[in-house]
Structure 1
Amino acid sequence: MSFGTYARRVRDEQVPLARRHTSLRCAVGHYCPLGFNATWAYLAATARPSPDLRRDPAALLRALETLEASRAVWLDEVESYAVRRHAEKAAGRRAPRRIITQPSGFRWPGETAPSRLGLVAAVANRRTAFRRSPFPDEGLHRDSQGQQLAGLHACLDSCAAAYLTNLGRVDAATRDALAEAIGGIESLLRPGPAPLNSHLLGWLRFANLVAYAAEVPLGS
């Protein structure tokens, strides 16, 4: 079913609250600009003062409205890009200047800056998952890469911890360390289904989320 169908179910007071909650999760499955779990954490945090989406219908509706507002901005971006590309092709410019095909994994589209509270919740959620994920088995990488992987893992965790401890206030040294960690992760990625990629891609998504969140103005 479509995003709109699930949104209507969330608003339908005749539907049991548990099913409305499930419908919101399905809607997030259709549109999750920060990834499913991070988007859900963002919505739960910004649905305050009662972020219990499973038991509070008002919070459920606030979360849906936040999601819909972001999706509307993204749809406008996609439509604007399509119109621009049509004009560029008509003018003989075949190569696009910029590609917008789906929400970025580390950007919250909106008419205003995203909620810092929501991003802190999203980073906290993903850091918990990052720390719980098993470290790559030695059989997945060369012996010479083990120390590099350990360093990247520790650096990324430290940068995320600094972001969370300071509620979004990230100093220049942390930003530089995060950028180096992203570059280091990308340097280890290999084309195709390389065994190590499944771990590294998860690390990279988390690193990009933290990097994006760190750029959000503190007043938001």
Structure 2
Amino acid sequence: MGFGTYARRVRDEQLSLPLRHTALRCAVGHYCPLGFHATWAYLAATACPSPDLRRDPAALLRALETLEESRRVRLNELAAFAAQRQVEKAAGRRTPGLIDTPRMRGPHWPGETAPSRLGLVAAVANRHTDFRRLPLPDETLSRAGQTQQLTELHARLDNCAIAYLTHLGHVEAPTRDALTETIHEIERLVRPGYAPLNTHLLMWLRFARLVAYAAAAPSGQ
């Protein structure tokens, strides 16, 4: 089933609340611009004043409306991007520029207004908890001399996330700069194709990009 079918099930008052809750999770599975868990955390936080999506049908509908609004904007963005690429290809530019890539592929909450600061903080907090649960890469996965580098990268990313969460989304330039450098260092360590260390690095990279986006995004209430 597609996004629209699940959205209709969320609104179907003839269904039990658990089934409607499951339908919303399935809809998020189809459209999750921050990643599934971060998107769910964003929706739960912004379904105020009652963010209990399991027990409050009104909050469930508010979350769905937030998701649908973002998806509409995203579809418009994709259509505009496709039209732009057609023009660029006709002019001989065969690949998208680096400026195009983060917005189209990285974490990004599309909307008519600025994303919710509360929602972004909740998304980062959710992923930060998971990041801290991840064990550091086993020494056998890294090359000589990399163990210390990986430990320092993990600690730096953790500190950046803590700074973001401590200040509820308001971070200073040094933290943003540290995030940018951390992302670049992780990217340099990722190897093409299959590499055991990539399993850890790619998870770190997704989290780092989420924190960087949330820290830079102009946000609403």
For Structure 1 versus Structure 2, the TM-score category normalised by the shorter chain is over 0.9
Question: Partner of 2:61 in structure 1?
Answer: 61
CA distance in 1, matches of 2:54, 2:220: 29
**Counterpart code for 1:209:** L
Cα pair distance change 1:84/1:180, threshold 3 Å: closer
Identical amino acids, percent of aligned pairs: 70
Cα offset for 1:174? 1.1
Alignment coverage as a number of residue pairs: 219
Question: Partner of 1:133 in structure 2?
Answer: 134
Moved more, 24-33 or 137-146: 137-146
Residues 104-143 of structure 1: per-residue CA shift (max 9 Å, x gap): 3411011111000000000000000000011111111123
**Counterpart code for 1:215:** A
CA distance in 1, matches of 2:159, 2:86: 45
Cα pair distance change 1:3/1:103, threshold 3 Å: farther
Cα pair distance change 1:96/1:193, threshold 3 Å: closer
1:90-169 equivalence runs, <5 A: 91-98=90-97, 104-169=105-170
Question: Partner of 1:217 in structure 2?
Answer: 218
Question: Partner of 2:4 in structure 1?
Answer: 4
CA distance in 2, matches of 1:219, 1:43: 14
Aligned-residue CA RMSD in angstroms? 1.8
Does the CA-based 8 Å contact 1:123-1:209 persist in structure 2?
A: yes
Question: Partner of 2:33 in structure 1?
Answer: 33
Q: Which runs of 5+ in 2 are unaligned?
A: none
1:194-213 equivalence runs, <5 A: 194-213=195-214
Cα offset for 1:87? 3.9
**Counterpart code for 1:63:** A
Question: Partner of 2:16 in structure 1?
Answer: 16
Residues 35-88 of structure 1: per-residue CA shift (max 9 Å, x gap): 000000000000011000011000000000000000000101111222333344
CA distance in 1, matches of 2:174, 2:80: 37
